[in-house]
Structure 1
Amino acid sequence: MTPVLRAAQAADADFLRTVFAAGRDAEVAAFGWPPQRVAAFLAMQFEAQRRHFRTGWPQAIDWIVSLDGSPIGRFYVNRGPWAFTVLDIALLAAARGAGIGTALLRGLQAEAATTGVPIELRALPDSPALRLYRRLGFDGGRVDGQRVALRWEPLAVAS
């Protein structure tokens, strides 16, 4: 079960909206809004996130994650010269808990280790993914705005 990555294309917009919405089911359910209002809110939030990522990290790649030929998520990463930044990692509910997020992050860690740069990411303080990040060696935990900022450092390369 190895996830496959391909760069997102314009035709993937509906799928990316679906993945975005799937990660916010519990949040929007608490609002008690009718479905049309929820859909409008999530569309607005998705577009705001998209603009934020494209403005702040114009070189980042938005990857579609597939398993057995079916899209199951997104992995949005900026590979900067001083750090790799995970902007978003999101999987459809049926794909969660199967080790796919672990495989994606371990692959990125291996790549970052070869270049000697750290990996940075942010997560909501109540995110179940925090356990995964900590298990994979991400540390820090300072609250940066509304998110917990975490960092993974590659081992020092012996000279």
Structure 2
Amino acid sequence: MQITHPNTALRPINDTDMAFLKQVYGSTREEELRQTNWNDAQKTSFIDMQFQAQHSAYSAYPNAEFFLILHDTQQVGRVYLQHRPDAILIIDLALLTQFRGRGIGSGILQSIFTEAQQLGKSVLIHVEKFNPALLLYQRLGFKLIADKGVYLLLEWQSPELVSTIQ
């Protein structure tokens, strides 16, 4: 996949990336954990357990690709994609806190849109209802297709795909 954001690249993850991937996962839970009265050891244990469970679940997706996001050669996040016959599912897209709001995530999404458009596919993503990234997804053209309780299922379609369906 060609990345459209300057100085940003993807590379497939490998076994040596697990500590970094756990750090990225932990950064997605920071706000939530601040609201607990847990000590640092309890928080670390929780992150370790939840990361392992999530990584195992994500590894079970067929036809999936798992990438580190690099910016200026520095590891800044992860994006996991599943290729389906009619869609690209964004299994996960996460950036370390200090790299959010710089356009890196938007650039990754635009690159996924370009690939989906070339393949005649839509793009799907599940997002928690209170995830701040929901506003970004809506701004980039994702539409709600299902409310699944805690999660919303969103879909992006290229204008060409929408016009052929109608």
TM-score interval, smaller chain: over 0.9
* Pairing of 1:3-14 with structure 2 (within 5 A): 3-14=8-19
Show structure 1 runs of 5+ residues with no match.
none
Cα root mean square deviation, aligned: 1.5
Q: Which residue of 2 aligns with 1:154?
A: 158
Find the residue that maps to 1:78 and give its secondary structure. strand
Do the aligned partners of residues 46 and 150 (structure 1) sit closer, same or farther apart at CA in structure 2, a change above 3 Å counting?
Answer: same
* Pairing of 1:58-69 with structure 2 (within 5 A): 58-69=62-73
TM-score, scaled to structure 1: 0.94
Contact 1:2 1:103 in 2 (8 A): no
For residues 81 and 142 of structure 1, what CA distance do their matches in structure 2 show?
19
| Matched length | 158
* Pairing of 1:131-146 with structure 2 (within 5 A): 131-140=135-144, 142-146=146-150
Q: Indicate the larger mover: 112-121 or 149-158.
A: 149-158
Q: Kindly, what percent of the aligned residue pairs are identical? A: 30
* Pairing of 1:32-71 with structure 2 (within 5 A): 32-55=37-60, 57-71=61-75
For residues 58 and 77 of structure 1, what CA distance do their matches in structure 2 show?
10
**Code of the aligned partner of 1:5:** L
For residues 51 and 99 of structure 1, what CA distance do their matches in structure 2 show?
29
Q: Which residue of 1 aligns with 2:108?
A: 104
Q: CA deviation at 1:141?
A: 5.5
Is 1:119 aligned to residue 111 of structure 2?
no
Q: CA deviation at 1:145?
A: 3.7
Show structure 2 runs of 5+ residues with no match.
1-5
Is 1:80 aligned to residue 84 of structure 2?
yes
Tell me the alpha carbon deviations over residues 96-140 of structure 1, each in whole angstroms, 9 at most, x when there is no partner: 000001000000001000111110001111111111101111001
For residues 132 and 34 of structure 2, what CA distance do their matches in structure 1 show?
18
For residues 23 and 132 of structure 2, what CA distance do their matches in structure 1 show?
20
TM-score, scaled to structure 2: 0.90
Q: Indicate the larger mover: 135-144 or 125-134.
A: 135-144
For residues 41 and 58 of structure 1, what CA distance do their matches in structure 2 show?
27
Find the residue that maps to 2:159 and give its secondary structure. coil
